[in-house]
């Protein structure tokens, strides 16, 4: 087995464009784009491992992508109180590496990536640079006002599904992003919007003693880890968060394997995701359960290829085995390497070794 830590850093560096964008997967044609969500988590991992210049280049790129849509953003903010803004005024969620909007048929109205981006900017300034660049300030102001105006609207979740729902993990990302914007811009109104989101989550996104996947659902989703880690809508030790993690462990892991997205997931059969397994480990690091986190890190390492590449998911304990062949026929085998998987591994590895 190659040195996965060094290989992961080298792989991410090799697949960052000259302009700063990180490709989601260089070998999986459907993922030959940069998403704000994936890119921010990759940049955060690069900051943790000391690759601050790489992370800064990503945020420079992201700020430029947002700023060039300033007129559309302003129209969306004005239209939001009356209902759904015009589709052409919604921020694009992904771009080609040269900055073009993707022309594939893909769900575009996804808000979580913009909250993640704001959160990531603040983390970068804490871990690397000390001052907020002016063009980041412009983008952060646009994003915070956009999210503050649109957060109540249904949108696609972080898996780009269920576009008619209001998603708990999305709201958590917006909570984290708006609080980051409040600190970056010294604008208390963004913290107030975050507080309103938290109140909504606690009143509308709870199923019994745990959080739910989206408003009105009884399901749990592994992305709910992010309600605590890293966005802190709840503290890791909060009873509601602990009950949610217990459901994730009970319903989305089998045979001490990796973590599934949700119980009825059928994408590539609904396998076990490396990045979600690493992020569950990150949660346990924050709870002080380092032995548990190391077990999950070991699982992630075991599921890298012999060349050290980490896939999006592995075909173990599939929810719907009958769907694997259908997805393979449609898009080829599951994405590998996935830069987000490598970034999640670096994040867990770094945080564990800083204990």
End-to-end CA distance of the chain: 25
- Report which of 251, 241, 305 is spatially closest to residue 274, judged by C-alpha positions: 305
Strands (E) across the chain are located at 34-35, 94-95, 206-207, 210-211, 272-273, 313-314
Candidate list 38, 89, 92, 157, residue with the active-site label: 157
| 160 catalytic residue (yes or no) | yes
Q: Where are the alpha helices (DSSP H) in 24-133?
A: 36-48, 52-67, 70-79, 112-127
- Report which of 216, 215, 213 is spatially closest to residue 226, judged by C-alpha positions: 213
Beta bridge mates, 16 = 22
Q: What is the 3-state composition of the chain as percent helix, strand, coil, each rounded to the nearest 5?
A: 55, 5, 35
In whole angstroms, give the CA distance from residue 138 to residue 158: 25
Candidate list 160, 196, 251, 301, residue with the active-site label: 160
| 157 catalytic residue (yes or no) | yes
Candidate list 38, 141, 265, 312, residue with the active-site label: 312
Token pair belonging to 30? 């459907």
Q: Which residues are catalytic?
A: 157, 160, 312
């Amino acid at each position: 087995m190659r040195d996965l830590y060094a290989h992961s850093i080298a792989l991410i560096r090799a697949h960052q464009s000259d302009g700063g964008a990180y490709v989601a997967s260089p070998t999986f044609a459907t993922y030959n784009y940069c998403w704000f969500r994936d890119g921010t988590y990759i940049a955060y991992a690069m900051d943790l491992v000391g690759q601050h210049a790489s992370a800064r280049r990503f945020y420079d790129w992201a700020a430029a992508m947002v700023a060039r849509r300033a007129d559309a953003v302003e129209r969306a903010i004005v239209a939001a109180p009356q209902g759904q803004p015009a589709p052409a005024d919604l921020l694009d969620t992904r771009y080609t590496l040269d900055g073009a909007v993707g022309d594939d048929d893909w769900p575009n109205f996804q808000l979580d990536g913009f909250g993640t981006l704001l959160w990531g900017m603040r983390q970068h300034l804490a871990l690397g640079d000390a001052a907020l660049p002016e063009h980041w300030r412009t983008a952060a102001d646009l994003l915070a006002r956009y999210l503050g105006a649109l957060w109540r609207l249904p949108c696609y979740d972080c898996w780009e599904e269920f576009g008619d729902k209001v998603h708990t993990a999305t709201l958590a990302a917006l909570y984290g992003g708006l609080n980051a914007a409040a600190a970056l811009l010294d604008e208390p109104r963004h913290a107030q919007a975050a507080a309103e989101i938290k109140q909504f989550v606690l009143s509308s996104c709870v199923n019994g003693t745990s959080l739910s996947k989206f408003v009105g659902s009884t399901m749990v989703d592994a992305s709910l880890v992010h309600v605590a880690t890293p966005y802190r809508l709840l503290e890791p030790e909060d009873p509601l968060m602990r009950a949610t993690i217990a459901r994730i462990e009970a319903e989305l892991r089998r045979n001490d394997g990796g973590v599934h997205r949700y119980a009825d997931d059928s994408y590539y059969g609904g396998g076990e995701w490396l990045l979600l397994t690493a992020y569950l480990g990150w949660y346990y690091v924050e709870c002080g359960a380092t032995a548990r986190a190391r077990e999950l890190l070991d699982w992630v390492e075991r599921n890298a290829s012999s060349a050290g590449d980490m896939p999006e998911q592995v075909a173990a304990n599939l929810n719907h085995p009958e769907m694997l062949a259908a997805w393979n026929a449609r898009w080829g085998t599951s994405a590998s390497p996935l830069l987000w998987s490598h970034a999640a591994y670096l994040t867990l590895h770094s945080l564990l070794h800083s204990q």
